[in-house]
């Protein structure tokens, strides 16, 4: 099986390498030559291609001969996309069109892209581009996966909070009452494989996931926390399934599938949001952090104290 993976140097790309190295014939595509060189020392039997998904010609050439595509490359930081929306469009929308079009013209029948809960009823530039990313893959008949925050992934608050706590620094939290869906990278990969192994119909695969308050995530690492207020483009709670999508929803393994084109029922449902899911406790978050980061679990549970009053629950 020849598999083409965009964003090979990101958290998901590296985990795919770790799990399927030696099983798949992998071509990894990204812009980061230093990180590719670092990966090559560990995973030498992989073809690495330097390139940008914005460049259709380079992408088309690099993808030649692939049997399957996993599209994981994206601009992901909300604040960066908010300040540079046209750059987010070039990568997440036009770049995704390039990936889907190249796969289609190479006759590749299996391709999956990585969506986000922030693409459901989006309020920021990142979420809007991720919603369009799904629509593009669906239009080619390819499948999508959609999930929330991968716990401990590159750029997430988890490794940042851990490093700050180790240095005795104050942890900054925008709003401790915010809730976010949480899953592990292994669960994300399992969802991708479910989407790849299913018929290609332009469907969106969603895993049912617990959630966590941002304040509880911070409290799992330190009680020295400063509340700084919500940033532009942030939601209080995220959604994995919109109200309208319940008209096209079916159940799947540990989750749901939003059917790309056909109506399943006429009734709308209540949006599946992170404040309606089970919330992880601080000890559960500490246990998960110890596993993901490879560090000892704290012997006692921390309680959060802040430099200003917490906003009321909503």
Contact (CB, 8 A) for 196 and 248: no
DSSP 8-state class, residue 25: E
Q: Is 312 exposed, middle or buried (0-12, 13-18, 19+ CB in 10 A)?
A: exposed
| CA–CA distance, 31 with 16 (Å, rounded to integer) | 18
Measured in Å, how far apart are the chain's first and last C-alpha atoms? 49
* CA gap 211, 117 in Å, rounded: 12
What's the rounded Cα separation, in Å, for the pair 176 and 233?
16
Q: Which residues contact 261 (CB under 8 A, 6 or more apart)?
A: 201, 202
In angstroms, the CA 110 to CA 112 distance is: 7
- Pick the closest to residue 133 from 106, 108, 104, 98 (CA basis): 98
- CA gap 199, 132 in Å, rounded: 21
Residues with Cβ within 8 Å of 199's Cβ and at least 6 positions away in sequence, in order, are none
Give the single-character DSSP code of 266: S
Q: Which residues are catalytic?
A: 118
């Amino acid at each position: 099986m020849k598999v083409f993976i965009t964003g090979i140097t990101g958290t998901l790309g590296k985990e795919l390498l770790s799990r399927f190295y030696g099983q798949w014939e992998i071509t990894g595509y990204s812009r980061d030559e230093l990180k590719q060189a670092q990966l090559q020392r560990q995973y030498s039997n992989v073809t690495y291609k330097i390139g940008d998904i914005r460049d259709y010609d380079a992408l088309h050439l690099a993808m030649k001969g692939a049997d399957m595509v996993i599209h994981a490359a994206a601009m992901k930081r909300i604040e960066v996309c908010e300040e540079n929306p046209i750059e987010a469009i070039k990568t997440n929308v036009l770049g995704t069109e390039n990936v889907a079009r190249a796969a289609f013209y190479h006759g590749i029948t299996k391709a999956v892209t990585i969506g986000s809960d922030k693409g459901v009823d989006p309020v920021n530039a990142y979420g809007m581009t991720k919603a369009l990313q799904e629509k593009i893959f669906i239009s080619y008949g390819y499948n999508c996966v959609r999930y929330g925050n991968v716990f401990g992934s590159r750029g997430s608050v988890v490794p940042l909070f851990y490093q700050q706590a180790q240095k005795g620094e104050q942890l900054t939290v925008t709003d401790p009452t915010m809730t976010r869906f949480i899953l592990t990278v292994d669960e994300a990969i399992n969802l991708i494989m479910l989407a790849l192994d299913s018929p290609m119909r332009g469907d969106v695969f969603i895993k049912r996931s617990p959630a966590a308050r941002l304040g509880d995530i911070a409290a799992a690492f330190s009680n020295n926390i400063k509340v700084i207020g919500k940033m532009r483009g942030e939601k209080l709670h995220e959604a994995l399934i919109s109200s309208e999508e319940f008209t096209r929803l079916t159940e799947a393994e540990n989750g749901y599938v939003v059917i790309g084109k056909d109506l399943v029922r006429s009734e709308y449902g209540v949006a599946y949001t992170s404040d309606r899911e089970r919330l992880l406790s601080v000890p559960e978050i500490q246990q998960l952090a110890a596993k993901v980061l490879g560090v000892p679990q704290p012997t006692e549970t921390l309680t959060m104290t802040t430099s200003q009053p917490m906003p009321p629950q909503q």
